[in-house]
């Protein structure tokens, strides 16, 4: 694989984890900025700092704890990433997505992705939850793709389809559960666009992204989804809208990371409850 990461590297990490925990997860959850508390809902929890795990990158961002948590969420065997990796930290994309292939080797078949994002859709409000219907991989437009380099057929095909990246059945289930929860705001659904970061977008960039049909913008998630679909995992995901992007040159407002974490806190609890219920309703293949 590009960057010197071999199938054996993934295997070695998976074997290390399997030998250090009795948990056998079927669902993996990537907790985005400010959403790490979801892992606190896990029962029979066993956690590993990323620094303990062979070949694992380290998370360097405020709001990302940097731990892998195994256990049960609403009756389902899960593994949670408390903190993810990003291009802007200096990691190549094969390293950003390293955990996803490890999860597949652990026996995971469903990946849930979450992130904090800026709202481009003018109908959105801060605190809204957006179910991800599709994504735009902007770094991919200029060759930054986690599947770049030699393809290993043991993970997946050379040219994987992405038209069905976000599972339709799970999206429909999410809408049903949201209605049952009786929330005042409707569950939003839309397209997430990824930029490399770490700077927030200019007004002109935000206007362009809006014209491209994106509803929310962030600096993560898409690489993990591409690798997950490549190796056959079912994917669904959510963006927590923590700020509305600036599209007006007269505006004095400015996006900042602390504000993103702060405005995400109250809404994060709602998203955590929602994901917990949703995971409880996932139909999993019988591994016995």
Q: Which residues are catalytic?
A: 33, 64, 86, 88-89, 116, 219-220, 243, 257
Q: How far is the C-alpha of 279 from the C-alpha of 273, rounded, in Å?
A: 10
CA nearest to 97, candidates 15, 155, 36: 155
Rounded CA-CA distance 96/261 in Å is 21
Exposure string for 118-131, b = 16+ CB within 10 A, e = fewer: bbbbeebebbbbbb
For 237, counting Cβ atoms within 10 Å of its Cβ (0-12 exposed, 13-18 middle, 19+ buried), the class is buried
Output the DSSP codes for 84-116: ---GGGT--HHHHTHHHHHHHHHT--EEEEEEE
């Amino acid at each position: 694989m590009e960057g010197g990461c071999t199938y054996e590297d993934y295997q070695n990490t998976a074997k290390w984890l399997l030998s250090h925990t009795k948990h056998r997860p079927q669902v993996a959850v990537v907790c985005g900025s400010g959403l790490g508390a979801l892992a606190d809902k896990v029962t029979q929890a066993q956690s590993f700092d990323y620094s303990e795990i062979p070949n694992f990158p380290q998370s360097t961002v405020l709001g990302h704890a940097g731990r892998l948590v195994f256990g049960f969420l609403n009756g389902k065997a899960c593994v949670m990433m408390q903190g993810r990796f990003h291009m802007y930290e200096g990691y190549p994309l094969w390293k950003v997505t390293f955990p996803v292939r490890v999860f597949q080797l652990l026996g995971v078949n469903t990946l849930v992705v979450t992130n904090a994002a800026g709202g481009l859709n003018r109908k959105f409000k801060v605190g809204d939850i957006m179910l991800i219907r599709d994504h735009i991989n902007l770094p991919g437009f200029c060759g930054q793709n986690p599947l770049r380099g030699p393809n290993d057929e043991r993970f997946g095909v050379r040219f994987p389809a992405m038209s069905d990246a976000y599972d339709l059945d799970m999206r429909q289930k999410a809408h049903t559960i949201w209605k049952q929860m009786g929330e005042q705001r409707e569950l939003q659904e839309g397209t997430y666009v990824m930029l490399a970061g770490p700077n927030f977008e200019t007004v002109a960039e935000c206007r362009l992204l809006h014209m491209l049909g994106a509803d929310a913008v962030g600096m993560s998630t898409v690489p993990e989804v591409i690798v997950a679909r490549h190796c056959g995992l079912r994917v669904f995901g959510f963006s927590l809208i923590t700020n509305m992007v600036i599209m007006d040159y007269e505006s004095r407002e400015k996006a900042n990371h602390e504000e993103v974490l702060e405005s995400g806190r109250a809404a994060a609890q709602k998203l955590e409850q929602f994901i917990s219920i949703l995971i409880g309703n996932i139909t999993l293949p019988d591994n016995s």
